[in-house]
Amino acid sequence: MDTRTLKPATPARRPVPSLENGDHLSAREFLRRYEAMPEVKKAELIQGIVHMASPVRLDLHGKPDALIQGWLCVYAASHPEATHATNVTVRLDSDDVAQPDAVLFLDAAHGGKAAVDESGYLSGAPELVVEIAASSVSRDAREKLVSYRRAGVAEYLLWRVLDEEIDWFLLEEDEYRPIQPEEGLLRSRVFPGLALPVAAALSGDLATVLGVGAGR
């Protein structure tokens, strides 16, 4: 037999492993696996550990989330230098790929640090990140707070629904310091005119939130 005409067998391509809760991965490998699983709607890499989404309750997440999205959407509509997005994948660094409930970020001409990369993900630290959490013992109030601080997210708004508390942190000297309410309003230090009437937000009064705090 003339072996010169035989072609070497092409090695079989290994399937991309699936994402699993608790996996320890790099940001690159996390995104490779995430992109191979279109059925997964939300997964995050926080300090190198994979966290998969759990079912969402209307009262503990759905309604507060809708209020926040409306508030930021209206603000961005009248401030073209700011972009609002919901549930967008944000590549913060090599250990953290978050999918926050909401972000608001500035364009580069106005000093923004985040930009869309070649894969369509947001890369870098948005100026404002918002998370809706069940309570102060949640991952949003602990590990993710550390990750956002470390990545340089200028402001972090955390709504702790069960605790009936809203925390708004400002990054100063590499530490998050709580913004104190003034006459019932939590005011952004980065986005002029953006303020959240705390009592109205906690009661679900969207009309007041939009009328008072959306910077129109």
Chain centroid to Cα 17, Å, comes to 25
- Cβ–Cβ under 8 Å, residues 145 and 138: no
Q: What is the pLDDT of residue 1?
A: 47
Q: Helix, strand or coil for residue 147? A: helix
Among 88, 75, 79, smallest CA distance to 110 is for: 79
Would the pLDDT of 215 be above 90? no
Which parts of the chain fold into alpha helices (H)? 27-35, 63-77, 143-151, 198-203, 206-213
The tens digit of pLDDT for each residue in 157-214 reads 999 999 999 999 999 999 999 999 999 999 999 999 999 999 999 999 999 999 987 7
Domains in the chain: ranges and CATH = 56-213 (3.90.1570.10)
Distance CA 216, CA 79 (A): 9
Q: For residues 123 and 92, what is the distance between their CA atoms, to the nearest angstrom? A: 6
State the average pLDDT over residues 74-99.
95
Could you read off the pLDDT of 95-133 as tens digits, one per residue? 999 999 999 999 999 999 999 999 999 999 999 999 999
Query: Which two structure tokens, joined as six digits, stand for 126?
Result: 């948005």
Q: What are phi and psi of 33, to 5 degrees?
A: -75, -40
Is the pLDDT at 147 greater than 90? The verdict is yes
**Does residue 20 carry a pLDDT above 60?**
yes
Compute the average pLDDT of residues 64-75.
Answer: 97
Please identify which residue in the block is written with the tokens 């972090």. 156
Reduced DSSP (H G I as helix, E B as strand, rest coil) percent helix, strand, coil of the chain, to 5? 30, 30, 45
| Contact in structure between 133 and 158 (CB atoms under 8 Å) | yes
CA dist., res. 50 & res. 19, Å (int): 7
Q: What is the pLDDT of residue 131?
A: 95
SS3 for 70?
A: helix
